[in-house]
Every structure is written in C-alpha cells, then in structure tokens.
Amino acid sequence: MANRAGFSTQSSDSISYLSQREAAEIDEILMGPLGFSVDQLMELAGLSVAAAIAEVYRPSEYSRVLAICGPGNNGGDGLVAARHLHHFGYTPFICYPKRTAKPLYTGLVTQKCLHIADIIQLESLGVPFVPVEDLPADLSNVFDIVVDAMFGFSFSGTPRPPFDELIRRLLSLGNHDKTQKESPIIVSVDIPSGWHVEEGDTTGEGIKPDMLVSLTAPKLCAKKFCGPHHFLGGRFVPPSIVHKYKLQLPPYPGSSMCVRIGKVPKIDISALRENYISPEFREEEVEADPFDQFRKWFDDAVAAGLKEPNAMALSTSGKDGKPYTNYESRKARELSENPCASLLFYWDGLNRQVRVEGFVQKVSGEESEQYFHSRPRGSQIGALASKQIGVGQSGSLKEAWLTCCSVNHPRTIVHEQSFTETDQSAKWCAS
C-alpha cells in the first residue's frame, strides 16, 4: 500500500505488465466504449509525467527541461507535460521534429489538430520550440532534464530519422557520470524510446533513463528498467479494465496524479555534503568589534531576504551535562541548574553562522527591561537570544565567547571573543 508520503511500497514484481497488444486494446476501449477522448487521456497522462518529475526533481535545481516529442500520442503526452511543467515553475523547451501527423482516426480529431492545440497553448506561454538542427550537439550543460516523449507502445523496428540521431544524443548522456550535475536527467514517457515495447533494450545500446513514467499500467519492457525512479501515471483506469485485464496496480495516494512503483532509492548521505564556495572570510575584512561584525552579518541576512534571520538555536544542558535543545521551559530550569549555554545563528543562504557560547545570568522579570538596555551591547545579544527563546525570564550573557565564522572551505577564519561586563577584549584565532 502507498505510505503517507505518497510512495508505493509495492514492489515492482507484484504488479501487472501489459503486452503491446493489451496496451493498444486498452487504448481502444478507453477511447471507444468508455467514451474518453484522446485529448482527455493525453491531458491526464501529461499531467502525470509532470507530477512525477516535480516529485523528484525540484525546479530550483532542475529548471531547464527539454521535451523531445514524437509524432504519436507519446509525443502529445510530452507537449502536455511541458505545459504543466511551465506552470510548476520549470523552464521548458520543445523539440518537435514532425509537426505533421497522420490523422489518428478518420473523421475524428486528428493528432495534427490535437498536437496543434497543445502547440498553440505552449506558444502562448512563450515556451520555445527548438528545431532539431538548432539543438546543441552536447545537451549536457544546456538542460537539466530531457523528457523522452518520442515513442510509446506503437513503436516498432529501428528509429527512423531524425529520431535515430536524437536517441543517439540521449544515449551519450546516459554514459555521463550522473553524480556530475551537468549531465541532464532523462525521463522517459511510457516507454524508453528505441526500446522494444516488450523485450526492452534488446541491443544493450538503448537509452538509460533515470525516470520512467508508465501510463495506465507498465509495459513488459518496464521489467528491464533499472533507473532509480519508476512511477505510474494515467489515473483514469476504470474497474472494468482492471477486472478484464486482472490488473495489479499500486493505489494512488490521496489526490496524487502519480504513484511510485518500488522503493525510494537510498540516498548517499555523504553525497549530500556541500562544498561551500562562498567568498573566503579573511581576517583583514573583519570588524574590530565582533558585535559590529554580527550586526553587519545580521543586516546582510535580512537584506538577503533569508527566512527568519533572527531565528537561533539555543542549546542548554542540565546538571547531568546532557544537552536539550527544545523550546520548552525546561530550558529555563536547566539554565538555572547550569548557566552554560550556546546559541547558533545559521544563515544557510549566505554560508555563514555565528555561534555564541557563555554563561547566562538570570535576572528577575521586572528587572529584565532595564537590565536588557543597560547592558553593554555585547551582552544584549545573549539577552536578545534568551528573550527570543522564551526562557521565561530575560537572561543575559555574563561571560561569552562569540564566534563568527563563514562555513566556506577549506579555511574557516574564526573570530572568537571572550568578554565580561567590563572587559571586551577581542582575540583572533584562525583554524
């Protein structure tokens, strides 16, 4: 069953896979006796693809999307997905080599009209259409995601031009080390284009997508998919079809338009570690008074529009020396037991942090206002901090070390200052 996060924990070997014939039959039933129009199905399919992409690849990191769209309905899914991705905040581009399309059903809506409707909508959004000949030879540093919407379950034989060349370009991406950011993610719609619909990548030289979004139900070739993200989309399958084809499919969570098949891939925690590349924090730049430095950095954090720049983490520890960092009044009790405390301002967006460690002296509530304003500026930070965290009574730093450090790598200059009410001598050390 799908867990709360919307990921199905149903393993991929306990679900149904369709043959090419079954997939085509289901399409016919959906658009025949069941009354769906092809553009309704395409709209839901395209939305599923966009939803699956948005679930894994955030637009803040993967914004530039190239949708390569084929002549059939798989291509139509790609056009629709691109439109939804635009509205989700991505920057889509379309490569759509064959605008002319064979009429889908004589007398009914032809793909040409369908796709043209999608084309008009995309052009009205300013989504650029890039001719094949204008595509960069190496897609690596130009796009973050490539949506493979060239062929679906009606593909057969070997890809004819210009799709043979386009598939070759995607192939070359698949050889890149995916941990290198510049290699785009490949997302295949329904079938990795060029694969045999049932037997998969029979040549071993097919594209290797990172994500596959199977529509209606996975096709047999999906058994050979070994990328990290397999999703099911096309949330329109009525019980009559589930029954007729004995479909075992993961339930869609809530109102989601897609559901993950199989487990969420393990994340390599060490790969999450960022190399900070912010400008080095050099001693000669630092304000003589650490509190001026704090004030300068605090103003930068406010100007940078960081969320709650005055938010800080105050860690205390009780008599037993164990630290607790929750915001309950227990903190106040611990501070009275053990006045040693440290607080941290971490400004992620600027790769900076300020750590303040010291002893907190408790003052009675009514004194706190005068006390707060009468203190030398230095200790006001602590009073500010203790006020902020609702210690119960405003406290003030009696003796503290203030450490301003930039978390850039490899050398972090640390500005430490010990100060008491009177002596605010600063000393520097570099580590």
Ligand X SMILES: NC(=O)C1=CN([C@@H]2O[C@H](COP(=O)(O)OP(=O)(O)OC[C@H]3O[C@@H](n4cnc5c(N)ncnc54)[C@H](O)[C@@H]3O)[C@@H](O)[C@H]2O)[C@H](O)CC1
Token pair, residue 50, equals 């966009």
Counting contacts by CB under 6 A, is residue 118 touching ligand X?
Answer: no
Counting contacts by CB under 6 A, is residue 163 touching ligand X?
Answer: yes
One residue of 140, 154, 317, 351 binding ligand X per CB under 6 A: 154
One residue of 4, 160, 266, 319 binding ligand X per CB under 6 A: 160
Distance between CA 192 and CA 211 in Å, rounded?
A: 9
- CA-based nearest residue to 215, from 196, 197, 202, 239: 197
Q: Residue 293 Cβ, how far from ligand X at the closest point, in Å?
A: 58
Q: Residue 191 Cβ, how far from K ion at the closest point, in Å?
A: 5
Strand (E) or helix (H) holding 117: helix 111-124
Q: Residue 73 Cβ, how far from ligand X at the closest point, in Å?
A: 3
Counting contacts by CB under 6 A, is residue 218 touching ligand X?
Answer: no
The region of 41-49, 120-128, 366-374, 421-429 touching ligand X under the rule CB under 6 A is 41-49
The DSSP line for 269-323 is HHHH-----SPP--GGGS-SSHHHHHHHHHHHHHHTT-S-TT--EEEEE-TT--E
Counting contacts by CB under 5 A, is residue 193 touching K ion?
Answer: yes
Counting contacts by CB under 6 A, is residue 316 touching ligand X?
Answer: no
One residue of 47, 94, 166, 189 binding ligand X per CB under 6 A: 189
3-state secondary structure of 171: helix
Cβ contacts of residue 382 below 8 Å, gap of 6+? 343, 356, 358, 360, 395, 396, 397, 400
Check whether 351 is labelled as a binding-site residue: no
* HSE-CB for 262 with a 13 A CA cutoff: 19
- CA-based nearest residue to 226, from 183, 267, 182, 174: 174
Residue 193 binds which entry of ligand X, K ion, none, with Cβ cut-offs from 5 to 8 Å by kind?
Answer: K ion
Token pair, residue 158, equals 């070997």
Residue 194 binds which entry of ligand X, K ion, none, with Cβ cut-offs from 5 to 8 Å by kind?
Answer: none
Distance between CA 399 and CA 360 in Å, rounded?
A: 8
Beta-carbon count within 10 A of 375 CB: 18
29 neighbors 116 (Cβ within 8 angstroms): no
User: β-pairing, 413-419 with 395-406?
Assistant: antiparallel
β-strand partners of 313 = 344
Residue 262 binds which entry of ligand X, K ion, none, with Cβ cut-offs from 5 to 8 Å by kind?
Answer: none
Counting contacts by CB under 6 A, is residue 192 touching ligand X?
Answer: no
Counting contacts by CB under 6 A, is residue 345 touching ligand X?
Answer: no
Counting contacts by CB under 5 A, is residue 20 touching K ion?
Answer: no
β-strand partners of 231 = 213, 260
Token pair, residue 367, equals 């004194």
The region of 130-138, 143-151, 243-251, 364-372 touching K ion under the rule CB under 5 A is 143-151
The region of 25-33, 126-134, 223-231, 371-379 touching ligand X under the rule CB under 6 A is 25-33
Q: Count residues contacting ligand X (CB under 6 A)? A: 33
Check whether 157 is labelled as a binding-site residue: yes
Q: Residue 352 Cβ, how far from K ion at the closest point, in Å?
A: 45
Check whether 75 is labelled as a binding-site residue: yes
Helix axes 111-124, 38-56, angle to 10 degrees: 40
Check whether 214 is labelled as a binding-site residue: no
Q: Count residues contacting K ion (CB under 5 A)? A: 6
- Cβ distance to K ion smaller for residue 215 or 354: 215
- Cβ distance to ligand X smaller for residue 46 or 358: 46
Residues 169-188 that bind K ion (CB under 5 A): 188
The region of 115-123, 155-163, 301-309, 345-353 touching ligand X under the rule CB under 6 A is 155-163
3-state secondary structure of 105: coil
Counting contacts by CB under 6 A, is residue 26 touching ligand X?
Answer: yes
Write out the residues near ligand X by the rule CB under 6 A: 23, 26-27, 30, 41-42, 45, 70-77, 102, 151-160, 163, 189-191, 215-216, 234
- Residue set of the binding site for K(+): 74, 148, 193
Write out the residues near K ion by the rule CB under 5 A: 74, 148, 188-189, 191, 193
